[in-house]
Amino acid sequence: MADEYANYIDGEWVESETGETFENRNPANSDDLIGYFQQSNSEDAARAAAAASAAETEWAETPGPERGSILSETARNLDDRKDELTETLVREEGKARGEAAGEVQRAIDIFSYYAEKTRDIGGVNKQSSSRHTNLQTVTEPVGVAGLITPWNYPIAIPAWKIAPALAAGNTAVFKPASMAPNVSRKLVECLDEAGLPAGVLNYVTGPGSEVGSTFATHEAVDAVSFTGSTQVGNHVYDMAAEDQKRVQLEMGGKNPVVVSKSADLDDAVEIAANGAFGVTGQACTATSRAIVHEELYDEFVDRLVERAAEIEIGPGLDGFDMGPQVTESELESTMEYIELGRDEGATLETGGGQPEGDRFDDGFFVEPTVFSDVDPDMQIAQEEIFGPVLAVIPASDFDDALEIANGVQYGLSASIVTNDLTESNRFVSEIEAGVVKINEKTTGLELHVPFGGMKASSSETFREQGDAGLDFFTISKTVYTNY
Length of the chain: 483
Query: What CATH number has the domain bearing residue 240?
Result: 3.40.605.10
User: Does a structural domain hold residue 446?
Assistant: no
Domain residues for 212?
A: 4-251+458-482
Is the domain of 193 the same as that of 278?
Answer: no
Q: Looking at the structure, tell me whether residues 156 and 274 fall in a common domain.
A: no
The reply to whether 114 and 222 lie within a common domain is yes
Residues 6+ apart with CB under 8 A from 127: 135
244 and 259, same domain (yes or no): no
Residues 84 and 217 in one domain: yes
Sheet of 12-14: strand order equals 12-14, 7-9, 201-203, 171-175, 144-148, 223-227, 246-250
Say if residue 444 is exposed, middle or buried (CB neighbours under 10 Å; 0-12, 13-18, 19+).
Answer: middle
Query: Which of the residues 99, 250, 367, 384 is marked catalytic?
Result: 250
Task: Based on the fold, state whether residues 156 and 240 are members of the same structural domain.
Answer: yes
Give the start-end residues of each E strand in 335-461: 347-350, 369-372, 389-395, 410-411, 413-417, 435-438, 454-455
- 437: which strand partners? 415
What is the secondary structure of 321-360 as a DSSP string? SB---SSHHHHHHHHHHHHHHHHHT-EEEE--S---SGGG
Torsion of CA 383, 93, 442, 403, to 10 degrees: 0
Over its length of 483 residues, how does the chain's per-residue pLDDT go in tens digits?
789 999 999 999 999 999 999 999 999 999 999 999 999 999 999 999 999 999 999 999 999 999 999 999 999 999 999 999 999 999 999 999 999 999 999 999 999 999 999 999 989 999 999 999 999 999 999 999 999 999 999 999 999 999 999 999 999 999 999 999 999 999 999 999 999 999 999 999 999 999 999 999 999 999 999 999 999 999 999 999 999 999 999 999 999 999 999 999 999 999 999 999 999 999 999 999 999 999 999 999 999 999 999 999 999 999 999 999 999 999 999 999 999 999 999 999 999 999 999 999 999 999 999 999 999 999 999 999 999 999 999 999 999 999 999 999 999 999 999 999 999 999 999 999 999 999 999 999 999 999 999 999 999 999 999 999 999 999 999 999 999
Distance of CA 205 to the CA centre of its chain: 18
Please tell me the predicted confidence (pLDDT) of residue 2.
86
Parallel/antiparallel/unpaired status of strands 133-141 and 474-482: antiparallel
User: Nearest 5°: CA angle at 68, between 62 and 71?
Assistant: 120
The verdict on 114 and 133 lying in the same domain is: yes
Q: Let me know if residue 443 belongs to a domain.
A: no
Is 250 a catalytic site residue? yes
Phi, psi of 125 (to 5 degrees): -100, 140
Helical axes 64-80 vs 156-167, angle rounded to 10°:
160
Is residue 387 classed as helix, strand or coil in its secondary structure?
coil
In a domain, 408, yes or no: yes
My answer on whether 182 and 157 are in the same domain is yes
Q: What is the CATH number of the domain that holds 373?
A: 3.40.309.10
Please give the model's pTM, rounded to 2 decimal places.
0.96
User: Domain check: are 202 and 320 in the same one?
Assistant: no
Is 445 part of any domain? Answer: no
- 152 is a domain residue: yes
For the chain, the domain total comes to 2
Number of CB atoms found within 10 A of residue 49's CB: 25
Residues 211 and 312 in one domain: no
Q: Which residues contact 457 (CB under 8 A, 6 or more apart)?
A: 230, 250, 251, 252, 253, 284, 410, 411, 412, 434
Q: Please tell me whether residues 203 and 268 are part of one structural domain.
A: no
389-395 and 410-411 strand pairing? unpaired
Per-residue CA distances from 138 to 12, 163, 451, 477 (Å): 34, 21, 25, 5
Strand partners of residue 391: 289, 371
Asked, for residue 129, whether it belongs to a domain, the answer is yes
Tell me, yes or no, whether 449 lies in a domain: no
Helix spans in 168-264 (H): 182-193, 213-217, 230-241
Q: In degrees to the nearest 10, what's the CA dihedral of 3, 72, 175, 41?
A: 60
Angle at Cα 19 formed by Cα 18 and Cα 20, nearest 5°?
Answer: 85
- Residue at 450 is within a domain: no
- How far apart, in Å, are the Cα atoms of 282 and each of 20, 47, 121, 279, 469? 29, 33, 35, 6, 23
Which of 384, 435, 429, 383 is CA-nearest to residue 402? Answer: 429
First to last CA, the chain: 70
Q: Based on the domain organization, do 387 and 471 belong to the same domain?
A: no
